[in-house]
């Protein structure tokens, strides 16, 4: 049996009817057997669902937002299918059940679990449309519910994969089909032991593709994006960017760790472990080479810049005339781990620990509450964090120009600065 290939299409590649047609053309030219397609929610849908949840949480009206989302999906279908196609009924009943879900009570206590039960509808809807369209264009395919395949623990919103269980489910649910049909499934979503929906963290569809590829021992994974490949900086934020033809697994993983949003951070490891190459290619220019991530022997020396927005700098200062020791660091890290907060920058001085983290709903408050008896805590919100790998002095100077630097750190491999924009 030949090895499978896995294609992952993100939200931008299914954002409207023309994009879905373009996706189909890319796929049609590259059809292979066996093949799995992993698709994210239609562009902006996950954000729209988050807004619906937020409105519900605040006891504001949300039904108009639901109707807009439903009709957005319907309008896309109107340009893809004849009026009497059953996709319309299927989509309608999917949105009915989303609205049913939203009738349940939501509070800050069940927020994460509730979030996952609602947010999965984005991927369910996009994959339903895509598979129906592929079938309509006469390619034999099957829609598979990723929640029957990707098994996780119950850490809602940030679920951890149960690898053995997932491997069994891939064998049981996916393998019997992949010889016969193109498999279309969802990224980002899974389910826990009791069958409740879970998600793998925002932008987690890349990771889903890697999980499936790893369990299938696939030949390759291709992530189709609206950029040319992996670049040394985000072209929307920086000028004169360079695209990598190839990149080592380690380098790619490190860039994603610092926040390069081109690939989800967890994607690389399962692929590297099985030596499965990852291609990042443009769905706008599908014939162009893109970037191949695999084992590369030469280290990369090109400076790479990653910028993260919406950061919080939190400083924990000891109050009892002692100096920072391992137990202080341990207590901060224990809480961060508990709250699933990742530290983007850490700096320790004699009397304080400073961290830069993403500003995540509720979590900052919980962090402050749980450590306020041990430390005097100060924080600054709305910061930016820039990381430069392989920096040079000129770049460092340019990066901090006209900015209010809050924290800065230089190591032999990298430079990091947390700053706010100067107000004058
Ligand atoms: N739809 C999800 C998100 O927007 C997952 C993904 O796009 O990978 O975060
Ligand atoms: Mg996405």
CATH number of the domain to which 392 belongs: 3.30.2130.10
Does residue 273 sit in the same domain as residue 360? no
Please state the atom number of ligand 1 nearest to the C-alpha of residue 202.
9
Q: Is 9 in the pocket of ligand 1 (CB under 6 A)?
A: no
* Whole-number Å distance between alpha carbons of 124 and 235: 31
Give the ligand at the shortest distance from the Cα of 44: 1
Single residue among 233, 265, 294 that ends a domain in this structure: 294
Does residue 283 sit in the same domain as residue 323? no
Give the pLDDT confidence score for residue 300 in this predicted structure: 87
Please state the atom number of ligand 1 nearest to the C-alpha of residue 123.
1
Give the pLDDT confidence score for residue 362 in this predicted structure: 82
Q: Which of 39, 50, 188, 223, when mutated, tests ligand 1's pocket best, judged by the most ligand atoms within 8 Å of its CB?
A: 188
* Whole-number Å distance between alpha carbons of 97 and 91: 10
Give the angle subtended at the CA of 339 by the CAs of 336 and 342, to the nearest 5°.
50
Provide the token pair at 21.
Answer: 């047609």
Single residue among 232, 265, 294 that ends a domain in this structure: 294
Does residue 377 sit in the same domain as residue 257? no
Strand arrangement, sheet containing 414-421: 343-348, 352-358, 304-318, 375-389, 414-421, 403-410
Ligand 1 atom 5: residue of nearest CA: 203
Does residue 336 sit in the same domain as residue 259? no
Closest-CA residue to 141 (of 150, 149, 152, 133): 133
Does residue 280 sit in the same domain as residue 319? no
Q: Is 126 in the pocket of ligand 1 (CB under 6 A)?
A: no
Whether residue 351 contacts residue 324, with contact meaning beta carbons closer than 8 Å, is answered with yes
In sign, the C-alpha dihedral spanning 91, 96, 97, 101 is positive
Give the pLDDT confidence score for residue 340 in this predicted structure: 87
Q: Is 116 in the pocket of ligand 1 (CB under 6 A)?
A: no
Does residue 114 lie in a domain region? yes
Can you spell out the DSSP letters for 204-216?
THHHHHHHHHHHH
From residue 273, give the alpha-carbon distance in Å to each of 7, 56, 210, 219, 250.
19, 42, 11, 13, 11
* Whole-number Å distance between alpha carbons of 112 and 123: 18
| Interacting residues of 154 by C-beta distance below 8 A, sequence separation 6+ | 113, 192, 193, 194, 196, 198
Does residue 35 sit in the same domain as residue 179? yes
If you search the block for the tokens 């021992």, which residue do you land on?
217
Does residue 85 sit in the same domain as residue 207? yes
| Interacting residues of 194 by C-beta distance below 8 A, sequence separation 6+ | 154
Does residue 286 sit in the same domain as residue 309? no
| Interacting residues of 366 by C-beta distance below 8 A, sequence separation 6+ | 339
Does residue 299 lie in a domain region? no
Q: Is 46 in the pocket of ligand 1 (CB under 6 A)?
A: yes
Give the pLDDT confidence score for residue 237 in this predicted structure: 87
Provide the token pair at 98.
Answer: 């989303």
β-pairing, 278-282 vs 246-248, is: unpaired
Please state the atom number of ligand 1 nearest to the C-alpha of residue 208.
8
Q: In total, how many domains does the chain have? A: 2
Q: Is 43 in the pocket of ligand 1 (CB under 6 A)?
A: no
Distance of CA 146 from the midpoint of ligand 1 (Å): 14
Distance of CA 63 from the midpoint of ligand 1 (Å): 22
Distance of CA 263 from the midpoint of ligand 2 (Å): 10
Does residue 102 sit in the same domain as residue 24? yes
Distance of CA 21 from the midpoint of ligand 2 (Å): 19
Q: Is 270 in the pocket of ligand 1 (CB under 6 A)?
A: no
Q: Is 121 in the pocket of ligand 1 (CB under 6 A)?
A: no
Does residue 318 sit in the same domain as residue 193? no
Q: Is 10 in the pocket of ligand 1 (CB under 6 A)?
A: yes
* Whole-number Å distance between alpha carbons of 19 and 295: 32
Q: What CATH code is carried by the domain that includes residue 107? A: 3.40.1160.10
* Whole-number Å distance between alpha carbons of 92 and 373: 52
Q: What are phi and psi of 346, to 5 degrees?
A: -130, 135
Distance of CA 43 from the midpoint of ligand 2 (Å): 7
Does residue 327 lie in a domain region? yes
From residue 337, give the alpha-carbon distance in Å to each of 153, 234, 272, 331.
16, 29, 25, 10
Single residue among 294, 328, 345 that ends a domain in this structure: 294
Give the pLDDT confidence score for residue 178 in this predicted structure: 95
Does residue 214 sit in the same domain as residue 354? no
Ligand 1 atom 7: residue of nearest CA: 203
Give the ligand at the shortest distance from the Cα of 226: 2
Ordered alpha helix ranges (H), 14-149: 17-29, 45-57, 63-78, 87-101, 111-119, 121-136
Give the pLDDT confidence score for residue 424 in this predicted structure: 58
Does residue 235 sit in the same domain as residue 128? yes
Whether residue 14 contacts residue 39, with contact meaning beta carbons closer than 8 Å, is answered with yes
Q: Which domain holds residue 217?
A: 5-294
Q: What is the pLDDT along the chain (424 residues), one digit of tens a residue?
A: 799 999 999 999 999 999 999 999 999 999 999 999 999 999 999 999 999 999 999 999 999 999 999 999 999 999 999 999 999 999 999 999 999 999 999 998 899 999 999 999 999 999 999 999 999 999 999 999 999 999 999 999 999 999 999 999 999 999 999 999 999 999 999 999 999 999 999 999 999 999 999 999 999 999 999 999 999 998 888 888 999 999 999 999 999 888 888 899 899 999 999 999 999 999 999 999 999 999 998 888 999 999 999 999 999 999 888 899 999 999 999 999 999 899 999 999 999 999 999 998 789 999 999 999 999 999 999 999 999 999 999 999 999 999 999 999 999 989 999 999 877 5
């Amino acid at each position: 049996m030949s090895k499978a290939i896995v294609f992952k299409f993100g939200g931008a590649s299914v954002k409207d009817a023309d994009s879905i047609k373009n996706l189909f053309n890319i796929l049609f030219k590259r059809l292979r057997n066996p093949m799995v397609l992993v698709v994210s929610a239609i562009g902006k849908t996950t954000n729209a669902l988050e807004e619906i949840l937020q409105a519900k949480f605040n006891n504001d009206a949300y039904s108009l937002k639901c109707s807009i989302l439903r009709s957005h999906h319907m309008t896309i279908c109107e340009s893809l299918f004849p009026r009497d196609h059953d996709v319309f009924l299927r989509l309608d009943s999917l949105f009915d059940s989303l609205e049913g879900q939203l009738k349940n009570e939501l509070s800050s206590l069940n927020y994460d679990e509730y979030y996952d039960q609602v947010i999965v509808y984005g991927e369910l809807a996009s994959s339903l449309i895509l598979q129906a369209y592929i079938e309509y264009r006469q390619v034999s395919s099957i829609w598979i519910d990723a929640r029957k395949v990707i098994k996780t623990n119950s850490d809602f919103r940030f679920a951890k994969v149960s690898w053995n269980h997932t491997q069994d489910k891939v064998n049981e649910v996916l393998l019997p089909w992949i010889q016969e049909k193109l498999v279309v499934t969802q990224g980002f979503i899974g389910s826990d032991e009791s069958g409740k929906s879970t998600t793998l963290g925002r932008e987690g569809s890349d990771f889903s593709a890697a999980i499936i590829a790893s369990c299938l021992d696939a030949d390759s994974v291709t992530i189709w994006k609206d950029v040319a490949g992996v670049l040394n900086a985000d072209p929307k934020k920086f000028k004169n960017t360079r695209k990598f033809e190839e990149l080592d697994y380690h380098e790619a993983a490190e860039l994603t760790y610092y926040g390069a949003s081109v690939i989800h951070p967890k994607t690389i490891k399962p692929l590297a472990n099985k030596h499965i190459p990852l291609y990042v290619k443009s769905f706008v220019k599908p014939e162009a080479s893109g970037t191949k991530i695999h084992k590369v022997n030469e280290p990369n020396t090109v400076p790479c810049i990653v910028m993260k927005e919406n950061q919080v700098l939190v400083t924990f200062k000891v109050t009892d005339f002692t100096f920072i020791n391992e137990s202080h660091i341990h207590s901060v890290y224990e809480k961060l781990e508990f709250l699933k907060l990742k530290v983007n920058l850490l700096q320790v001085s004699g009397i304080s620990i400073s961290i830069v983290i993403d500003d995540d709903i509720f979590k900052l408050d919980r962090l402050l509450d749980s450590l306020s008896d041990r430390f005097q805590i100060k924080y600054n919100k709305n910061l930016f964090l820039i990381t430069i790998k392989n920096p040079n002095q000129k770049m460092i100077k340019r990066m901090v120009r006209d900015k209010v630097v809050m924290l800065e750190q230089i190591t032999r491999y990298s430079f990091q600065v947390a700053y706010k924009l100067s107000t004058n």
